[in-house]
Amino acid sequence: GLFSSTQDITIGIKNLNDSTPVFTNDNNVSVKEDQRGAIKLEAVDADNNVFAGGSNSNALFKVNGATGAIIDAVSTLQHHYGGVIDSDGNIWSMPPNHNGTVQKISHDMSSKENINIGHNGYGITIDKYGKVWTSEYGRRFSTFNPSNLFFFSLIVKRSPKIWHGCS
């Protein structure tokens, strides 16, 4: 456009094996002016594929962890702030603080589903039992079992009391 510019950036890649990373795809991430935190979701699956998504974009990239080649790129249902991969290879993504949902993206990135967790998002992880744990910035955390969607939530106040509720 009339008021646009291009800025080259340097990305440091730590070589963990004897293979030199090769970038063979022209897919890219665009960032609007004065925006921070372009890539927030970073998760690695059992095959060493890296998934990267932006907090200002619905784009999700699957990158070969050994070569750096972009394997796939899809548009998802919401932006990404944090992410984790479950034992089945599904990607779970937390959006940045706005809609009270967590997104499940299938391992092959062909299907996407939003699940209402009842609070805005900030952090996400999965425990060894397969339960998804989420947090809201400074206020509460919750957990649910993806197989039956039973939710448990804790609200932490500054007083010595902890409030909890189940659904």
Percent of the chain scoring above 70 in pLDDT: 63
pLDDT of residue 40: 76
Long-range contacts of 65-70 (CB under 8 A, 24+ apart): 66/17, 66/19, 66/21, 67/19, 67/21, 67/22, 67/24, 68/13, 68/21, 68/22, 68/23, 69/22, 69/23, 69/24, 69/25, 70/23, 70/24, 70/25, 70/27
- More confident position, 3 or 79: 79
Under the banding of pLDDT at 50, 70 and 90, the label for residue 123 is: confident
Prediction pTM value: 0.68
Under the banding of pLDDT at 50, 70 and 90, the label for residue 166 is: very low
